[in-house]
Chains A and B, each alone.
Chain A
């Protein structure tokens, strides 16, 4: 690299030369700068904004620990249970890797639920971030599938009977159900074929989908820019006359990098305490019955899904014939209530057709099918949030008492349903779960009304602190 010219040579550091070499061939620097390095984020993002990066951290943790677990795990109905115990007792550090993975599963849902709650607080799903939200909902669905398949792998009693119940949900679908359930199981009962394919879904199929969705989620977010606790679009606010950048924005790096690193440190502290001292978390993270090998002839006296599925399990369980009468009445009332809002012509005909199908269906199709439908709907309603919310403001800071009350009721209903899902069903609990189910769906279905009827505070022109 000798330079003989008269001007003093600007010798770049070898690392910069390497970067230039790469950038000439691959857009490494532009990619880093558009996605994080020069990404402008609102300056007022608060505590609730750490759960996105924490979810990414847990995803990485699950992938790494998962790879190492597959090195000793055997997806075979005769060997699976013992291979997990082998990992726990005989593989060097196997217990740590396995507890990281099992604690990571619950941690994943905790951070994702909090991340979603942040969206509900500050209206992160509103225009222009609808696709970011929908990609997020798809991530949530994939995560549920991933967790379900993963839970089968230790092949304990809860693995087996959990799979039995969930796969039988598909058998409830009229006409094609029974054949569909056999196709999913690959056998007439849950068995070796089922375990083997669930392993394939858990370690390769769903993770690939998850990673693709996470990339799409982040690309969509970095295209529109992040929302913030005020729900103000910083791109539409005054810009710095010198740089042309939004006055209310700061570079994600280093400002939010530092904040996220602090969040990661706190998270890992809590995570480590659970992993080392209470990996079973009193039977909530790892259920006691799953320490008994799968026995196709005997259902444990009390079965419940892992905590993160219990709200949905409660909704499914609450759907009895009595509830169908209430739902039928609810459909009629809702159509009458929203009738004036529905545009004339095709939309009204469509509404009547859907209502008629539901009413006939409630009468002729058994309750367990509707339990499955409601369980699916309870997740799918999240997808519709961008269009259900008609408030002129995004953030809860400027929303009125109606939305605040509705959100509070929704959170309580979600938690109560979750608790009921861990308990054995009694008539009183079933009633409570039915009330919870109605409140859960009421949050979504009544939102077009209450979000519009609510009183709203004026939104300031610039972000607050």
Chain B
């Protein structure tokens, strides 16, 4: 480019150590442009790891037939790859929910996830049927049913509920977490509605395919 070219090329020649500011500027500009281009090329690769269109489309709601569910029984349906529990609670089970709410971390479900119509002491649309996503809010294990009250393995005054096998979080029969457990929040209640007295639609119709 300029006449200083030969001087910088020849080792030992006069001025070989001198920095040519014009060339240095070009070098810096090339590095910046090259770096920016490499960074931009990383984006498609990182973005390719997001959920695919197919995975996004699989959020469709599912129907559940609850006609065979007896009082005190639990059934599990799969929605978006997650277990959704439907528990038909007996009168005794419902009575435990109002007894001793001081032991619960979030008794009124203020910071927990549920549709507003289910933000009540039963955390459900109809008190008899509990519908919750059976995924612990701690690290995502699926708790197991411990419905029997005063189960000796569950500690004193156990009202009946659920126990997470991974880290020992305990939930009551409305999926509300007990205080001082690893899980911070109550089990989430999905959007759902009654298609008839014995048929539920779980999931939001407005989302997904």
Contact = CB atoms under 8 A, between A and B. Distances in A.
B182 A368 contact: yes
A202 B21 CA distance: 47
B102 interface: no
B51 A186 contact: yes
Interface residues on B, range: 20 to 34
A302 B81 contact: no
B103 interface: no
A301 B51 contact: no
Nearest to B138: A368
Contact of A187 (B55, B83, B134, B139): B55
B144 A299 contact: yes
B184 to A, nearest CB: 5
A52 B175 CA distance: 51
Interface residues of A, number: 39
A77 to B, nearest CB: 10
Interface stretch (A160-168, A223-231, A277-285, A442-450): A160-168
B144 A301 contact: yes
Given A193-B55, A368-B182, A424-B165, A187 B81 contact: yes
A296 B138 contact: no
A217 B81 CA distance: 43
A52 to B, nearest CB: 35
B182 A189 contact: no
A39 B152 CA distance: 66
Given A186-B51, A424-B165, A168 B81 contact: no
A303 B166 contact: yes
B171 to A, nearest CB: 14
A165 B139 contact: yes
Interface of B: 46, 49-52, 55, 59, 76, 78, 80-83, 134, 138-144, 164-168, 180, 182, 184
Interface of A: 161, 164-165, 167-169, 171-172, 182-189, 191, 193, 197, 296-303, 317, 320-322, 366-368, 371, 424-426, 430
11 contacts: A164-B141, A167-B140, A186-B52, A187-B81, A189-B81, A296-B81, A297-B78, A297-B83, A298-B83, A299-B144, A321-B180
